[in-house]
Structure formats: structure tokens, C-alpha cells
Amino acid sequence: MGRPHTLPDLYDSVLRLRLALLKRDGYFKPNIRRSGIVTWHDRYGEKRASISIETNTLSDDGHYIELDYRYGGDTRKYRVYITYQPSNLGKGLIPYFVCPQTGKRCRILYSIGGYFLHREAFNHAMYECQTQSKRYRDLERLYGAHLRLDSNYEKLHKKHFMKYYAGKPTKRYQKILREIQRGESVPYQEVERAMIM
């Protein structure tokens, strides 16, 4: 009999239910009942998973979303309640999930073991950067900007990327430009030599 694996689940690679995406798609408009399907795809565009959701902002016993899906042959159906906090700008209310297990507020629910919960509900899960060796973190700190040059150029040339707002460069645009300058200042030979060692 083989030993059980000791590798942690990674928050970066599990299914995540983001409140911001549901809000963008109109699931949290006041006084509605709305249902739909949330689908996840892998990096190649293949369907990875999907769940049925229904939001209810009419209910007297609190606003909630109801999740309905199959996991490992079992049917899972449960509610995740929504709470609202006043915006720090004084404009409206910000919705939050209330984790069914921990009772904590959050904006993202992670699916590990078949339930969508707050990240603190999982004892042995980590972010990918927490599993990296000290050497890898050192290389990332020194040469990461150079290795991310291609992805930063892609960000700059995305279809709806906003470089300027009201005649001023956006903070995101300035941050990407700084990272590109840092990456271009590292000699290619130095990066190549470090990767071989």
C-alpha cells in the first residue's frame, strides 16, 4: 500500500467562486431571484467544472446564493448567505459571502474537498508561492521582472487596457511600465547564467 501524499492543496489551482464576478453578471441586484450556471475552464479553454447557482435578494431571512452541483457522484446543495457592509467611500453597500463553516466574511470561496468555503476552513492548503524553495524565491526576486516581460507586454496591448484616465496615466499602467523597465535593465546573459546554476 502506497503512502498518502503530503502535498498541500494549492489555493491557486482549486475552483474559486468570486463574488465580484457574480456581482458583475447581475446576481446581486436588489429584490430579484436569479439563477444561472457558473463554468470554469482550464488554460486551454476546455470545460473544467460547472455549478448551478441561484441568488435570492427577496428573502426575509437574509439574502443568499444556493449552490447545486455534483461532486464525486454525490449531489451537493446548500446555501451561502450574503451580508453587506457600508462602503468606506460612503456610497452604497459592499456584499460579502458568509462562509457556511467558519462564519467569516469573504469575497472568494475556495472548493477543496467538494465544498465552497472560506480559505481558513482548510487546514493544509497553501498558496503556490508558499511552497517555493528559498532559491526559487531569490531567483524570482532578482530576475522575476525579466521573466515576466512577455506577459507584461501582453497586458499593455490587451484590447480594453486603459493607459490613461482624464489625461493622466493610470496607476496600473505606471506599475507595468516600471516592471518592464526593471526587467529590461537585467542583462539576458546574467539571467541565463543564474538559471543554469
pLDDT digit of tens for each residue in the chain (197 aa)? 455 556 677 767 788 899 988 888 888 888 888 888 888 888 777 888 889 999 888 876 788 899 998 888 888 899 999 998 998 888 888 889 999 999 999 999 988 888 888 888 887 777 777 777 887 777 777 777 887 888 888 888 888 889 999 999 999 999 989 988 888 887 777 766 766 66
Query: 129 is written with which cell numbers?
Result: 508561492
pTM exceeds 0.95: no
Beta strands (DSSP E) in 42-151 are 47-56, 64-71, 74-86, 93-98, 105-106, 108-112, 115-117, 125-126
CB atoms under 10 Å from CB of 157, counted, come to 7
> Residue ranges per domain, the chain?
9-126, 132-196
Half-sphere exposure of 121 (CA within 13 A, CB side): 20
Q: Which residues contact 42 (CB under 8 A, 6 or more apart)?
A: 48
